[in-house]
């Protein structure tokens, strides 16, 4: 019947368990929460509980699942690992073992057919379609041998659904009951539980979809990943995705001091408290060199265009020549092992910005 009504949807490929959960929780959130608020109202406890659960489970994904377990960008005390695995299960994004396995595949085969959430197959596929139509995981876990040796990770993998249900739904409901009885428990279940799960999941999904579709690519255009300040606001700093794909083992995503990356700030704070160590950072000169190479590549691609006027071509050639001079001077400094100072880094950054900003004003290149 469904196939006849919607002939273009491959219902034979639908993972009904995952789809029922994703669609069911979305409907409960969209219908149940407004009805509850209309009937009982909402108080500061419900709002505070939502944000507490959103932050606890959200940071467990960004700090734990992503930067700690997937990319090994730092080492953490067992209590940090335990808490991120506990509340990470409450995000209902599967176990850390499966999440990291798929994410490492994504980085290895980004924008290729093997990429689990390949954006070239469409925004819907990258956002949620890859989960709805994933009948079998077919994961060997060969790319996560380090995690398979971690007893905490393996325990969570074995019991992830029970842990997730308890953390995501039972825990908020119990807190709500202790606060204000059964009415408050229902509100906590709907707002701090179901609503929070839905909102957090789609924030994470946006990294797989929108962060490969909108934003800037200052470090590399070899893949579709992009930097987006707006998405960083909703994903605890994960929105700087172009940088992350170019330097995936850096514990920072927002590498610039002014960029919004609270996950980076928490990791740094944990290191000062003795709860994190061996924070991996990409040297500033290597980051700027990547920007320089990408800026040159952009300008060279414009010089190859055939529809430019002679004035435009001369303008771009001058900018390219200036960047080439900067690159040559930079190489000489490296070869002569001259100490790279902050002033030198600042000068190089200024040259790159100057060249690209001039071209952006004339509409020759996209913002970097």
What confidence tens digit (pLDDT) does each residue in 96-134 have?
A: 999 999 999 999 999 999 999 999 999 999 999 999 987
Determine, yes or no, domain membership for 367.
no
Determine, yes or no, domain membership for 93.
yes
Burial of 244 from C-beta contacts in 10 A (0-12 / 13-18 / 19+): buried
Residue 257 has pLDDT above 50, yes or no: yes
Statement to judge: residues 129 and 215 lie in one domain: yes
- Compute the distance between CA of residue 249 and CA of residue 279 in angstroms, rounded to an integer: 10
Statement to judge: residues 133 and 255 lie in one domain: yes
pLDDT, mean of residues 290-317: 65
Statement to judge: residues 197 and 299 lie in one domain: no
Question: What backbone phi and psi angles, to 5 degrees, belong to 136?
Answer: -135, 140
Statement to judge: residues 192 and 299 lie in one domain: no
Statement to judge: residues 197 and 309 lie in one domain: no
Could you tell me the residue range of the domain that residue 48 belongs to? 2-277
Residue 327 has pLDDT above 90, yes or no: no
Statement to judge: residues 146 and 265 lie in one domain: yes
Of 250, 277, 304, the last residue of a domain is 277
Burial of 204 from C-beta contacts in 10 A (0-12 / 13-18 / 19+): buried
- Of the listed ranges 66-75, 168-177, 226-235, 353-362, the least confidently predicted one is 353-362
CB neighbourhood size of 351 (10 A): 20
Statement to judge: residues 76 and 218 lie in one domain: yes
CB neighbourhood size of 219 (10 A): 23
Strands 276-277 and 75-76: antiparallel
Statement to judge: residues 233 and 193 lie in one domain: yes
Of 257, 277, 297, the last residue of a domain is 277
Statement to judge: residues 56 and 187 lie in one domain: yes
Split into its structural domains, the chain has a count of 2
pLDDT, mean of residues 181-195: 97
Of 277, 302, 321, the last residue of a domain is 277
Determine, yes or no, domain membership for 132.
yes
Beta bridge partners of 216: 227
Instruction: Report the interhelical angle of 196-208 vs 44-59 (nearest 10°).
Output: 40
Q: Which two tokens stand for residue 248?
A: 């995936």
Statement to judge: residues 226 and 312 lie in one domain: no
Statement to judge: residues 260 and 307 lie in one domain: no
């Amino acid at each position: 019947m469904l196939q006849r009504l919607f002939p273009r949807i491959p219902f034979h490929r639908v993972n009904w368990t995952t789809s029922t959960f994703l669609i069911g929780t979305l409907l409960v959130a969209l219908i149940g929460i407004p009805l509850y608020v209309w009937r009982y109202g909402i108080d500061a406890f419900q709002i505070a509980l939502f944000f507490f659960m959103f932050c606890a489970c959200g940071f467990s994904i960004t700090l734990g699942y992503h930067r700690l377990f997937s990319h090994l960008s730092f080492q953490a005390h067992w209590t940090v690992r335990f808490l991120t695995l506990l509340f990470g299960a409450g995000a209902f994004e599967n176990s850390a073992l499966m999440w990291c396995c798929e994410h490492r595949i994504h980085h290895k085969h980004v924008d290729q057919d093997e990429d689990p959430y390949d954006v070239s197959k469409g925004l819907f596929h990258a956002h949620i379609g890859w989960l709805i139509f994933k009948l079998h995981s077919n994961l060997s876990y060969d790319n996560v041998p380090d995690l398979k040796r971690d007893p905490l990770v393996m325990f969570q993998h074995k019991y992830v659904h029970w842990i997730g249900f308890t953390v995501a739904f039972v825990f908020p409901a119990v807190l709500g009951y202790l606060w204000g009885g059964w009415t408050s428990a229902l509100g906590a279940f709907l707002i701090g539980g179901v609503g929070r799960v839905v909102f957090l999941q789609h924030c994470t999904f946006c990294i797989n979809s929108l962060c490969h579709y909108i934003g800037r690519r200052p470090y590399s255009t070899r893949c579709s990943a992009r930097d987006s300040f707006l998405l960083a606001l909703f994903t605890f700093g994960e929105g700087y995705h172009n940088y992350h794909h170019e330097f995936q083992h850096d514990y920072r995503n927002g590498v610039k001091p002014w960029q919004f990356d609270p996950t980076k700030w928490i990791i740094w704070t944990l290191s000062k408290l003795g709860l994190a160590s061996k924070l991996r950072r990409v040297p500033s000169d290597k980051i700027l060199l990547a920007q320089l190479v990408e800026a040159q590549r952009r300008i060279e691609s414009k010089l190859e265009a055939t529809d430019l006027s002679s004035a435009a071509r001369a303008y771009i050639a001058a900018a390219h020549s200036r960047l080439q001079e900067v690159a040559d001077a930079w190489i000489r400094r490296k070869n002569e092992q001259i100490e790279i100072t902050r002033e030198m880094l600042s000068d190089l950054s200024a040259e790159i910005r100057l060249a690209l900003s001039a071209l952006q004003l004339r509409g020759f290149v996209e913002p970097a």
